[in-house]
Chains A and B, each alone.
Chain A
Amino acid sequence: MLFPLPQAPRSRRVVVTGAGIITAFGAGWRINAEGFRAGRSALRPVTLFDVSRQRCKMAAEIDLTEDLPRTRLSRGEIRRIHRAARLLLLAGHEAWSQSGWKPRDGLPVVLGTTSGEMSLGQEYLLQALRSPHCFKRQPTRVAHYLVQQQGITLSRALGFEGCLTTISNACASGANAIGHAWEMVRQGRAECALTGGYDALCHLTFAGFDSLQALSPSPCRPFDARRDGLSLGEGAAVLALESLARAQGRGAEILGEIIGYGATTDTHHLTQPHPEGRAALAAMKAACIGAGVTPDQIDYVNAHGTATPQNDASEAAAINAWAGPRAASLPVSSTKAGVGHLLGAAGAVEAAVCLMALRGQWFPPQASLDTPDPACFFPIVRRPANAKMNIALSNSFGFGGANATLIFRRWS
C-alpha cells in the first residue's frame, strides 16, 4: 500500500549500489569518468534537426550507435523504442547490472524528465498538420510520447514491476527524483529504489531555449565574467539505491552514500531565479541540516552552473552566503561545460559525477572558463587534479523555481 505508510525504522542510511550513465562522452561509467576527470568538452554541431535559423547551432549530442543490451523486450518492442527511452534503458541497464538486483515485484522507480519523448509529440503534430487523414504510426507515437511509457519500457526490459513515479520539475527533475527515492528508502517506505533522470535533445526544447536567448552560440562558460548562455545536451543517469543494511547483508559493492536532500521553490519568476538565490540557499541549508554537515565539511560543489548570466549570479550569491568564510577555499565546478545542460537528466548525471569523483578522489574540472566572475568568492576547478574528498554537494535549479540539492559521502 502507498498509504497508510509502513511503520519502519526511520533515518536509515542509504547507499548507491549501482550507477549507469550515458552522455555525449559515451555510454557507461568508465568512459564518462575519464571525460569528466579530464574536463573534456563534448559540444559539437547539432545534426538531429535543422538549426540553420537558430542563433545557437551546437549541443552535446550523443552519437547513439550503441546497441541496446539484451533484455526481456521483444524485437517489436525494441523497434518502437525512441531516443529518450533508449538513453534511459542504457543507463538503467548499467545500474541494474552493477547492482546485482534480480527481477522482482514491488520495486519503486522514481524518474525525472522535462520532456520525455517530446520528439514523438513533434512527429505526431507534423503528421496531423501535413497529412491529417493519414493515421499511420500515430497511435504508436501517442503511446510512446506519454512520459510514463519510458519508465514502463525500462521496467519491462529489466523484468520488474512497481510503482512508477515521474517528477517533472524542469531542470531539477533528476535531482528531485533521486531525493524523493532517497527519502523513501531512508524513511523505511522501501528497501530499495531505482531512480534517475533522462532527457533527449529535441527541436521544440532547443528552439525554446534559443527563443529565450538563453543559448550561447559558443561553448558555454559557467561562472565566466563574459558568459552568454548555456549549451544543451542530452543523456541519462540511473542509480540503484538501497538501505545500508540490505546492501551489506547481500555483500553488494557500495559506490557511495547519499546523506542529504533539500528541495525548495523560488517564486521570483517563472524562468529567472531570485538575484540573491534565496531559494537556492534554502535548499543547500536544508540538505546540510538533513545530512548533519556544515559547509566546512563539504569538499566539493558540483554547481548547477548553466552559464546564463542570471543563474550563475544567483547561484554564486547563494554559495557565497551559504559557505561564508569556507567559500574562499571551496572547490566548485560546473560539469555542464563538458556535456551541456541535460535538463531533466542534469541532476542525475551530476549525481553520478559526484559519485565518480568521490570514488576516484579527483575534482571534476570545468571544460571552459576564461575569466572567473568576481562575484564568485570560491575557486573554480579548471584543471584535472587529484583530491581528498569525503563529501560532495550537487545543486540543481529549474524553470518554475524548482530547486534541489543533494549531498553525497564517499564510501570507504
Chain B
Amino acid sequence: MSRVFVHGQGAVSPAGWGVPALRASLEQGRPLPVQSVPRHGWDKPLPVRAVPPPPARPAFLAHARLRRASPMTHHVVGAALEALGGDEALVNSGALRLGIVSCTMTGGLSYSRRFYQEVMQDPAQASPLLFSETVFNAPASHLAAYLDTSIVNYTLVGDAGAFLQGLAVAAQWLDDGVAEACLVIGAEESDWTAADALRLFERHTVHTAGAGALYLKAQSPAATPVELAAVTDSFPATCAADCGESAHRMRAQLPAGTPAELLCSNESGNAAWSGWRGGCFTPKVVLGEAFAALAAWQCAAACDAIQRGKYEAANVSITGARRQTIGARFVKPKYQTTEPSQPP
C-alpha cells in the first residue's frame, strides 16, 4: 500500500504570514478583527479579513515573474515556500521532481474584475497585463517558474473540497512516480465582488483571503512525521435535504474518533459529527470564509497540532459551497484507533 507523509505546511492568512501566526490565532479562538472594503454603490463598506503585509519584504518578490503578479500569487508562493522549507534548494537544482496541485474556487478575482471593468469602459484600452493574470492557473505557473520545476502542474477549480481532492491527486502522482514530492496549495483572493457575493448566501460570514499549503512525499520525514491516512470519497449533495446524509456518509469512511483526536471542520454544528469526543476547532469562526484556502489552513493546522504532540490524529471535515462533502484524516504514523467506524 502506498503511503504519503506530510513534510511541511505553510499558511498565509489574515492571522499573518506563517503557520505560527495561524496557530496562535486558532489557539486564542477569537474572531480576528475585520477591515472594511468599499462596496460599489453603497455608503456602508463590506467587512473582510485581509492578509496583513509580511513582516519583511519577501525575497521572492524580486523574481521577474512575481513583480506584477496578483496578491493571490504572492500568497501562494509564500505558503508554498514555507511548506517546502529546505527542499526549495533541491527543487531549484533539479535534484527533486516536484509536482504542484493548486486549488481554488474563485481564482484571481481582483484582476478579473479590474480587467472586465476596463473592457466595459473601452475594450480597445483594456490592459493585457491584467488579462494574463486572470487565468486560474497563473499562480501555479508563477510558482513553478520561481522554483524552476517543469514537472506536471494542475490547477483544480471547485469548492473548498477541491483541496482534499488535490491531496488525493498528489498521492496518485507520488504512487505513479510522476513526481517525487508534491505541493498541494489552496488559495483565494479578496475582492469586494467576492465579499458581496458571499453575503447573498451567508449574510454574517466574513470573506477572507490567503493561501495554505501541504508538502507531501512518499517517504517519512526523520522528525515529527504526520501521515495522510485517508481522503474520503466526495459526496455530492444534490438538494438541501440530503446534505446531512452526505456528511454522514463521509463520516462513516473515517474512524469514530477518541478523546486523543482532533476534529477540524469548516462548519460548526455539523450533525454528522455529533457525539465527537475529541478536540474540535472551526477555523472559519476565527478567520472567515476562504473556501479552498480555508480547507488548506484546516489541514495545515491539523498537521501542526499532531506534530506538536497535542493530538494523535485529526479528521478534517469539509462541506463545500456547492455542497460537496469530503473528509481527510492525518495521523501519527504508528497511531491506530481502536474505535470502529460509524455506521453509514
Chain A residues with CB under 8 Å of chain B are 1-5, 7, 51, 53-55, 106, 113-114, 116, 121-122, 124-126, 128-129, 132-133, 135, 138-139, 142-143, 146-149, 152, 155-156, 161-170, 176, 180, 183-184, 187, 189, 203-204, 207-213, 263-267, 270-271, 278-279, 282, 398-402
CB neighbours of B234 from chain A (8 A): 2, 162-164
Interface residue B233 (Cβ < 8 Å from any Cβ of A) = yes
Inter-chain contact A161/B236, CB cutoff 8 Å: yes
Inter-chain contact A267/B144, CB cutoff 8 Å: yes
Inter-chain contact B40/A128, CB cutoff 8 Å: yes
The number of inter-chain residue pairs (CB within 8 angstroms) is 225
Closest to A10 in B: B176
CB neighbours of A152 from chain B (8 A): 236, 238, 322
CB neighbours of A149 from chain B (8 A): 322
Inter-chain contact A166/B145, CB cutoff 8 Å: no
A3-B167 in contact given A114-B135, A265-B150, A270-B141 (Cβ < 8 Å): yes
Q: List the 10 shortest-distance A-B pairs measured between CB atoms, nearest first.
A: A132-B41, A400-B141, A208-B131, A2-B168, A168-B136, A267-B145, A3-B231, A163-B234, A400-B137, A2-B231
Cβ-defined partner of A124 (8 Å) among B137, B145, B197: B197
Does more than half of chain B's interface fall in helix, strand or loop, or is it mixed? mixed
A54-B238 in contact given A207-B119, A401-B141 (Cβ < 8 Å): no
Inter-chain contact A164/B126, CB cutoff 8 Å: no
Inter-chain contact A132/B42, CB cutoff 8 Å: yes
Task: Give CA–CA (A169, B145) in the complex, Å.
Answer: 15
Inter-chain contact B136/A114, CB cutoff 8 Å: yes
Inter-chain contact A135/B200, CB cutoff 8 Å: yes
Cβ-defined partner of A142 (8 Å) among B100, B150, B168, B197: B197
Closest to B146 in A: A267
Chain B residues with CB under 8 Å of chain A are 1-2, 4, 39-42, 65, 100, 105, 107, 112-113, 115-117, 119-120, 122-124, 126-128, 131-138, 140-142, 144-145, 148-159, 162, 164-165, 167-169, 171-172, 175-176, 193, 196-197, 200-201, 228-236, 238, 253, 320-322, 324, 326
Inter-chain contact A166/B128, CB cutoff 8 Å: no
Q: Offer 12 A-B interface pairs, CB within 8 angstroms, sorted by A.
A: A114-B135, A129-B41, A142-B200, A165-B162, A165-B165, A168-B136, A203-B116, A207-B119, A207-B123, A265-B150, A267-B148, A400-B138
| A75 shortest CB reach to chain B, Å | 16
| A398 shortest CB reach to chain B, Å | 8
